[in-house]
Structure 1
Amino acid sequence: MRVKTPILFVLTGLFLSLQLNAQSSDLSEPEFLKYQNSKWVDSIMKKLTPNERIAQLILVAAYSNRGEEHKQEILQLIKEQKIGGLIFFQGDPETQAELMNDYQQAAEVPLIGAIDAEWGLGMRLDNTISYPFQMALGAIQDDDLIYNMGEEVARQVKRTGLHINLAPVVDVNNNPDNPVINYRSFGEDKQNVTSKGIAYMKGMQDHKVLTTAKHFPGHGDTDTDSHYALPQINHPMERLDSLEMYPFKELIDAGIGGVMVAHLDIPALDSTGVPSTLSKPIITGILKERLGFKGLIVTDAMNMKGVTKGNEPGVVDKKAIVAGNDLLEFTEDVPRAIKEIRNAIKAGIITQKEIDARTRKVLAVKQWVGLNNYGPTKTEEIVEELNTPNAKLLNRKLVEASLTLLKNENDLLPLNELDTLKIASVSIGAKDETVFQETLSLYTAVKHFQLPVEAKESEIDSVKEELEKYNLVIAGVHDQSKYPRNSVSISEELQEFLEELSESENTVISLFKNPYVINKLDEIEESPVLIEAYQDSETTQEMTAQLIFGGIGASGKLPVSVGEKFKMGDGLETNPINRFKYTTPEDAGMDSSILYPQVDSLMNEAINAKAIPGGQILVARDGKVVMYKSYGLHKYSDTIKVKKDDLYDLASVTKISSALPALMKLYDEDKFDLNAGIDDYLSYFRNSNKAGVPFRQILAHQARFKPWIPYWKNTLRNNGSYKWNTFKKDSSARFPVKISDELWLHRNYQRKIFRAIKKSPLEDEAKYKYSGLVFYLLPSIVEEITGEDFRSYINKNFYDKLGATTLTYNPSEEFPLNRIVPTESDFFFRHRPIHGRVHDEGAIMMGGVSANAGLFANANDLAKLMQVYLNYGEYAGQRYISEETLKEFSRTQFPDNDNRRALGFDKPNLEYQGEDNNTAKDASKYSFGHTGFTGTMVWVDPEEKLLYIFLSNRVLPTRDNTRLYKLNTRTKIQQVLYDAIKE
């Protein structure tokens, strides 16, 4: 029986032949088509009954979170109806893989598995990665990153036992009010949408996952959600051809395997008013014949109101097949759908030959993805294998590349001259401190405020009053929705507050929302700095904070126009300024599968052995912090967990962190001479046995000085009580030096310390012997040279500029005790637990300020100074010490005298000494650093650009606890860092 062709179809086809561009001769056909007549496909076709051939065209919705009853329903459809495949929705990867294995075992013909994973498996499955939404991806300038995402998504899709990803979205979103596409689109520029779509498609298809460009012929200019109603697009053919359909034509030319058809009413293409999913003029006339598409045509979900209104289940599926679709997604009534299609064949509406051709196409896809050699999916360790370090790093790279800097008046970003800034942050739309705020605090001191969505006017006024104390305000505008919709959820009062902030001179605003929202916030475009971050994920917040401080640069370009405020393509570029980037080991050429578990194991071993109560570890390579972690407790006997921002007593690490950088700076300025002696700067030492001993020998610990002097013993009588002229229980003008709350030292006791150093005898032989004596004198020497207070000098020239705000003496004067980790319980001098004051007896008798000991810090702030050393004097675009000076101070000075020491810095042993070595076996000869009595270690290795910080309080409760040394934990961890470096 010959089927009559409707006049309307003929006319539409004739019109389209005039309008649509002819396909190029180099059109790349989908790869799977070569299998349509393969032996395997032939063998399957011979086994299938007519009804089973129809069933191969049906995808049924499956869930991995609906229990046994749902599973049995699916198994019944597989066994009785012989459906062709499944499309998976919500659930988790383990259960999904297990279910797919069970379903495949029940199927006579291997099932095709599909998923709607536009931004990765996280769109549907728990415990999987969500990559940025396509609107954010549209801002990225490097399409290779999009290709890489396609590769990774393909790997993950296959790992869960699936074969088709119903992506990418290539709708050109030119309607800001689009409720269903919007942030799912690459943007409003057809060229950008096309290039991103092709990159994403090729990344997946090059790794044997079939993709479907959607939603044909273009869902970007609608204000209706087709899940709930049928949208209408009233554009003429010329516009549809040149804009909406442009990406589809290009992806077809590029060889895309599938196209998904939308539920749309498009009068210019089909005046009957039927949804495009059911339109033969659109699917057969345009997509197949005019555009020459020979791949797999897939319907949008057949349960959506845009197609089901007025169409019963089963009947609507028949209409979709008749219109030209190959694969029905989300068929609700499988038996009826098969029956209705069978009746259509009998009625001559469609032929068995046409059905067979489509069945062959589906089977060809199955062979292309490898189902002709099907094997069950391994379910063990699936979550770990989906969430690989490289997969996570890719997510960070995508977010970083998407961030769009729309305003940057006076080149305020990246923030510089931290010592001139007093910074506050306010998170608008958040109740608690955000990841954005936590990350800001990694760079310098920032005071944080939060204003929730419904903040009252009194709350807002209170914050406004506080903000007046600061000269820079960083605001984060947060989204309350899981998805960045084009809506504003914050109250009018908060919007007015944001408007005021925008009009301030020193404001940085980060918008963690849909870019279209900019047009709904008055005056936000007036902000001196405006960052569009596209969504409100933790990674986006973290990377945006790093952008503000120059840990990363900005390169994103706005993929859509925002009213009259910003145009598509707007976006300023900045470069990172060599300030720390907080990232993953893989980003720095290290293996997290070695680094993380082995460091964790060694730290836990030390804690379990009671070598230390807890600690902090920081590892950085090439200026990238790849590990920053806290472990254990403040004390064995309490429940206060160590936090990353807690302060530790650095002990002898003070030697290289306080006076030494000052001396190097002064050496650069020709104000300090390594060939001079103590007496050249402190006249008190001119007539001493130390006069004329050059600083080169002193700082290399080869000056014959005694290792130490127990100054505190001279304050005691024979019966153990304190001498009356040394200590008092209360402070006064004569006793102003605080040792403890009930112990105050005489103001002149520092002179006695200097006298003891001056009178101390010299060792007999000039060879290496570690001595801390000169380090008590160095603050005074710095003051003598500079005419400035020592603490003020090092704060001004180093710590403040670095943003190292916890690097300080006498921390209890600035920080609460619950942020300061305690050290020893002192039962022979202070007779109390030491908490918030320096552990070293000599340093506390110097008022807590010495170059021998006394500094406190967290690992992150200490690392900033160590990175200056690793960079040979430079950090964040600012030079602190000349390269020549740092190389001089960090080289071994007297190796011929069997002395490994540099100037102030420690160095690796001249010959490796096995487990007794002072550093890891693989630490290079160029490396340098220091250790501390309280259980600290810092080390940098310029050869590997590696920085390592270990902070602990091993002296708690007693210095007699030497388990940390016996376990050799610090150097074992250091060796792990080298083991983790990838060749």
Structure 2
Amino acid sequence: MPYCRSIFFGFCCLLLSFTSFAQTKSPSFLQLNERQACWADSVFTNMNPDDRIAQLIMVAGYSNRKPTYEDSLIRLVQTYKLGGVVMFQGGPVRQALLTNRLQAISNVPLLIAMDAEWGIAMRLDSTVRYPYQMTLGAIQGNDSLIYRMGANLARQARRLGMQINFAPTVDVNNNPNNPVINFRSFGENKYDVARKALAYMRGMQDNRLLTSLKHFPGHGDTGTDSHYDLPLIAKSRAQLDSLELYPFRQLISAGASGVMVAHLSIPSLDTTRNRPSTLSPAIVTNLLKNELGFQGLVFSDAMNMKGVTKYFPSGQADKLGIEAGMDVLEFTEDVPAALAQIKQSVADGRITQASLDARCLKVLRAKAWAGLDQYKPIVMENLVNDLNSVQDDLLNRKLTESSLTVLKNDKNILPLQRLDTLRIASVAIESDKITAFQQMAGNYTQVDHFNVTSRTPDSTLAAVRDSLKNYNLILVDVHLNNIRPAAKYGMQAKTAALVSEMVSTGKAVVTVFGNAYVLDKLTFPMDTVKISRNIEDARAIVMPYQLTNYTEELSAQLIFGAIGASGKLPVTVNQRFRAGDGLPVQSIGRLKYTIPEEVGIDSRYLAQQVDSLVNVGLTEHAFPGCVVQMAKDGKVIFRKAYGNHTYDASLGAEPKPTQLDDLFDMASVTKVSTSTPSLMKLVDEGKFNLNGKMADYLPSFKKSNKADLVWRDVLTHQARLKAWIPFWMDTKNPDGTWKSKTFQKERSGRYPIEVTDSLYEFRRYPKTIFEQIRDSPLNPKKEYVYSDLSFILYPQIVKRITGTDFEEYVKSSFYRPLGASTLTFQPRRFYSLSQIVPTEYDSLFRKTLIWGRVHDEGAAMLDGLSGHAGLFGTANDLMKLYEMYRQQGSYGGQRFISQKTIAEFTRYQFPELGNRRGLGFDKPSFTYSGNGPRSATKASYGHSGFTGTFVWVEPDPAYNITYVFLSNRVYPTRNNNKVITLNTRTNIVEALYRATKRGIQ
């Protein structure tokens, strides 16, 4: 269609002033290209006066109602040729179908709008919910995130066939009791409100979504909800100019495409009694359009609200709104009456048809700018997926993380350090089930959970109260499901009393998942309940502003030091908690739990690669089940449990689905998780010399053939030691019976070592094992031969040097401070069998299913505790140890091993001899041999375990990978080598390397 302006000269003159003004605004829907302008003019020319008035009417639409309702809505829109529909409750698919129906019967495409201040989820299920504006108000110095929120919301809206979002709210919330704005405002500081609202607006408008600033001229300082009454703003014009109008001025100047006028009585602007601002020419035309120079679309607030209908019935109110200068009436209830009265107003000369025509053309230009000049129906395929992209998930995480506010941090208790000194309980108040906060807290260390509500019986509360005496730190997470002042923000008197009781212990770190103003309900006594201690007496206070999975999980991560905090209160709550309050908290490098996109990896690609490799293993019966955990840059980006504990119940263990918190037998991963870190620590302390000789630390070896073996050779498996010794075979007679002084079927003082439920070993037999190692022959040639033998001896060496039993040494030196509470020997002491994955049915030695006891026969004969095998634990806890290695010996604000020693142990020791080993650690082959991660750099290291376990650390800055794979591939028999022939474990970490190199596509 060629460019055309076939409109009479007088009408062009009428539009000249605002068209030239629009050209000075950027961005603005008034800046159309030739095609868009031609479309708007052409459509306008073909309309009659009634059609032009109808373009100024928007009615409500719901996609969660019966077909009869939808049919009536279709008839209404079609009959009166209305300009738009404001969508409310429903679902995305239902709304898309309804929108397509509505657009199909409209000669002129409809303007589809929504109140989506915190995302489309404000109205529709199965869509993205962003933080409330008050939450965003806490963000400091990172308004680009708010811009991105606007941009993402624009993408979602356009995908759903919408052209306008009635947002942002630019009201300055300077009244804590405001029942309708409150959490919908960025805060009480006009500069912050203007700046953040501008970022939000630009994000939307830069991506072709119309916006509407609200609620003009400022709805923040009132205690009345305009949905139910007409609020009075008793402020002078000077006060309004100084505060309420400031954000509107700034955003209008920046090119706002729309402004929504509120239903407010403001005597300083219009002295007419009970006249809402929506019906006031003094406010709409004189102030907004003339004085402030706004030339975009002026929308009314919903015309069904009591703020307008209390004094002006439907129809009359609509007419008066148009007379006042409204461009678009939102939520007109009685369309025939409204149209009739507007037409009568023209006939009476109260408004000119030319004025209505100008507004109609403005609406059409807005439609063209938003893409309706090239309207296409909504594509239904993949709609819900497109509306819930992983990028929205990532943005939500970043927005939430940036808003977290620490209001008290006594003696810098946050982030929590020295976990080995803390006995932690978590008490969730007003949640009767384990919360997301509690689950996340449990990822960092042993945390015992309690849940209480206002309905919890006193007897149960008494039991909880008594139990809490055993802890020196209580994490109190307060769950408030109401954010409105009329409901006291969900804070009941008993809830406040429970918080007070927790605070009175002097051990509480309190996180309040609710409106910031609720802090006032926790600072002073409520109603008839006398509160003995205020929340300000807590050791620390964290304010996440609302209750979502994001706020719960990230608040726990903040408390444990995986992330920091930089948020500031956007509002003043009382004299104790004022706008601008917020203490900085720094991360101390504990694992962060997030999604791959945060580190530049495509989550779908990574998941597809890992799932495919694991599923091949499951299909081929390479293992019954497994757990895969991956981290990059100290961020856990993949955690998944696959398969089952067993294939069937034939051996006595049910095929229970594998869980992330299942304990696995680590097998030889024990070597680099117990013996190796112990030696590194002793090297740091100058208590162990890598170039010393075996006899230096094992006096009984002084006269043996191993006396002069050098530890550096021993730890790199080139000291001529035998690979292994089948100790158990020496305990049997030729007829298959046990030799004397080896085993008995019942426990006794002489036979206390439990090998199975019916097999007990002689108490001194471990000494025989050590002697067998001492007296064993050496291999004739000094070359690489992988050997278990020296690792069996390290527990003795550690105890001899430190005076501490080996298990206690590794737990106190590493596991407890790391928060790796499940890493343990002999797990049956602490865990039920249902939490432990079975390994092999031992048909030769123990004649039973090995379940909760060490798989390795030699370690079993050492009471399940050895430096070469016997460690059990979860993937998550094991990763903490290897993340400490990746961080060059530091983790959680604590140094465990020096950077120098980490570097020494993890480097190739004898590459000139063709030996690829570090000290204790395995490393990549010098040339790729097909059985390791192809992309691994020379700096990487790790270890595999016989039961099907694997750990890998890639410290190269290009990758920064930590990887754990746990399986029970030996179930039901060790003869199953498919996990090795399929190369499952290393192929999975190779997928992570590839995903890192590939990035987000």
Paired residue for 1:957? 972
Shift of 1:956: 1.4
Q: 1:523-555 deviations in whole A, cap 9, x for unaligned?
A: 111212111111110110000000101100010
Within the alignment, does 1:280 sit opposite 2:291 as a pair? no
Structure 1 CA distance, aligned partners of 2:218 and 2:430? 34
User: Shift of residue 70 of structure 1?
Assistant: 3.0
The residue aligned with 1:387 is 388
Identity of aligned residues (%): 50
Counterpart amino acid of 2:360?
Answer: T
Alpha-carbon separation, structure 2, partners of 1:886 and 1:672: 15
Q: How does 1:298-697 map to 2 (within 5 A)?
A: 298-481=299-482, 487=488, 489=490, 491-521=492-522, 522=524, 523-637=534-648, 638-697=654-713
| Structure 1 spans left out of the alignment, 5+ residues | 1-23
Contact residue 178 and residue 485 of structure 2 kept, 8 A: no
Number of corresponding residues = 957
2:955 maps to 1:921: no
Between the aligned partners of 2:757 and 2:450, the Cα distance in structure 1 is 34
Alpha-carbon distance between aligned partners in 2 of 1:929 and 1:482, rounded to the nearest angstrom: 49
Q: What corresponds to 1:114 in structure 2?
A: 113
1:938 maps onto 2:957 in alignment: no
Give the aligned partner of residue 214 of structure 2: 214
Partner of 2:167: 167
Deviation string, structure 1 residues 801-859 (Cα, Å, up to 9, x no partner)? 10110011111111222211111122221122111111111111111111111001101
Deviation at residue 181 of structure 1 after TM alignment: 1.0
Equivalent residue, structure 1, for 2:256: 256
* Maintained 8 Å contact 2:179/2:484: no
CA distance in 2, matches of 1:972, 1:30: 50
Task: Give the match for residue 29 of structure 2.
Answer: 32
Q: CA deviation at 1:606?
A: 2.0
Are the equivalent residues in 1 in contact too, given 2:430–2:479 (CA < 8 A)? Answer: yes
Contact 1:183 1:485 (C-alpha < 8 Å) held by counterparts: no
Tell me the SS of whatever aligns to 2:488.
coil
State the distance in 1 between where 2:551 and 2:430 align.
Answer: 16
State the partner residue of 1:979.
994
**Comparing 589-598 and 117-126, the one that deviates more:** 589-598
Query: Once the 2 structures are TM-superposed, how far is the Cα of residue 42 of structure 1 from its aligned partner?
Result: 1.3
In structure 1, what is the Cα distance between the partners aligned to 2:176 and 2:658? 47
Contact 1:59 1:331 in 2 (8 A): yes
The residue number in structure 2 matching 1:48 is: 47
Q: CA deviation at 1:321?
A: 1.2
Whether the aligned pair in 1 keeps the contact of 2:674 and 2:867 (CA below 8 Å) is: yes
| 1:604, distance to aligned residue in structure 2 (A) | 2.6
Match of 2:796 among 777, 780, 783: 780
Name the aligned partner's letter for residue 586 of structure 1: E
| Aligned residue identity for 2:973 | T
1:206 deviates by: 1.0
Structure 2: distance between partners of 1:822 and 1:138 = 51
1:814 corresponds in structure 2 to: 830
Shift in alpha-carbon separation, 1:105–1:460, aligned structure 2, 3 A:
same
Shift of 1:677: 2.5
Q: Deviations over 1:881-934 (max 9, x none)?
A: 1112111111122222222111111111211123xx2x2211112110001111
> Greater shift after overlay, 308-317 or 944-953?
308-317
SS at match of 2:406: strand
Match for residue 140 of structure 1?
Answer: 139
Contact residue 485 and residue 513 of structure 1 kept, 8 A: no
Q: 1:484 to 1:448 in 2, by over 3 A?
A: farther
C-alpha distance 241-476 of structure 1, shift in aligned 2 (>3 A): same
Contact 1:30 1:294 in 2 (8 A): no
State how far apart, in whole Å, the 2-side matches of 1:234 and 1:877 are.
54
What's the CA shift string for 1:189-243, capped at 9, x where partnerless? Answer: 1111111111111111111111111011111122222112222222222222211
Contact in 1 for aligned 2:718/2:785 (Cα 8 Å): yes
RMSD of aligned residue pairs (Cα, Å): 1.8
Q: For residues 136 and 339 of structure 1, what CA distance do their matches in structure 2 show?
A: 44
Mapped contact 1:30–1:295 kept (Cα < 8 A): no
Tell me, what secondary structure is at the counterpart of 1:590?
coil
- Structure 2 residues without counterparts, runs of 5 or longer: 1-20, 525-533, 649-653
After alignment, is 72-81 or 322-331 more displaced?
Answer: 72-81
How big is the shift at 1:173?
A: 1.1
Quote the offset at 1:721 in angstroms: 2.2
2:52 partner SS: helix
Structure 2 CA distance for partners of 1:29 and 1:776, relative to 1, 3 Å: closer
Task: Please give the secondary structure, in 2, of the residue aligned with 1:31.
Answer: coil
Tell me, in whole angstroms, the C-alpha distance in 2 between the residues paired with 1:483 and 1:622.
40
Note if contact 1:618-1:629 (Cα within 8 Å) is conserved in structure 2.
yes
Q: Which amino acid counterpart does residue 584 of structure 1 have in structure 2?
A: I
Per the alignment, residue 873 of structure 1 pairs with 889
2:528 is matched with: none
Could you report, residue by residue, the CA deviation over 1:69-102 in whole angstroms, capped at 9, with x for unpaired residues? 2332233233322111222112222232333233
Report the TM-score, using the length of structure 2 for normalisation: 0.93
Q: Indicate which of 736, 745, 767 corresponds to 2:761.
A: 745
Q: What's the counterpart of residue 7 of structure 2?
A: none
2:271 counterpart of 1:271: yes
Q: Distance in 2 between matches of 1:602 and 1:93?
A: 35
Superposed counterparts of 1:759-838, under 5 Å: 759-838=775-854
Q: What's the offset of the Cα at 1:971? A: 1.6
Task: Name the SS of the counterpart of 2:31 in structure 1.
Answer: helix
For residues 129 and 416 of structure 1, the distance between their equivalents in structure 2, rounded to whole angstroms, comes to 35
- 1:873/1:882 contact within 8 Å kept: yes
- State the 1:482 CA deviation: 7.5
Kindly provide the amino acid, as one letter, of the partner of residue 384 in structure 1.
Answer: N
- Answer with 509-518 or 778-787: which moved more: 778-787
Do 1:455 and 1:494's aligned partners in 2 also have CA atoms closer than 8 Å?
no
Asked if structure 2 preserves the Cα contact closer than 8 Å seen for 1:29 and 1:295, the reply is: no
Distance 1:178 1:72, change over 3 A: same
Pairwise CA distance, 1:509: 0.4
Structure 2: distance between partners of 1:319 and 1:35: 31
Alignment TM-score, normalising by the size of structure 1: 0.95
Q: Aligned partners of 2:449 and 2:491: how far apart in 1?
A: 19
Q: Assess if the C-alpha contact under 8 Å between 1:594 and 1:979 holds in 2.
A: no
Query: How far is the alpha carbon of 1:608 from its aligned partner?
Result: 3.0
- State the partner residue of 1:183: 183
Deviation at 1:25, TM superposition (A): 13
Deviation at 1:296, TM superposition (A): 0.5
The answer as to whether partners of 2:482 and 2:489 remain within 8 angstroms in 1 is no
Offset of 1:460 from its aligned partner?
2.1
Give me the whole-angstrom Cα distance separating, in 2, the residues matched to 1:578 and 1:484: 38
Match in the other structure for 1:10:
none
CA contact (8 A) 1:616 1:631 kept: yes
Task: Assess if the C-alpha contact under 8 Å between 2:179 and 2:485 holds in 1.
Answer: no
Q: After superposition, what is the alpha-carbon deviation per residue over 1:746-784, rounded to whole angstroms, capped at 9, x for unaligned?
A: 111111111221222222322221111111101111111
Question: Match of 2:899?
Answer: 883
Partner-residue secondary structure (3-state), 1:627 = strand
Q: SS where residue 468 of structure 1 aligns? A: helix
Match of 2:202 in 1: 202
Corresponding residue of 2:82: 83
Q: Would you say the 8 A contact 1:217–1:244 is kept in 2? A: yes
Matched to 1:613, the amino acid is P
Give the CA deviation at 1:149. Answer: 1.1
Kindly indicate whether the alpha-carbon contact (under 8 Å) linking 1:486 and 1:514 is maintained by their aligned counterparts in 2. no
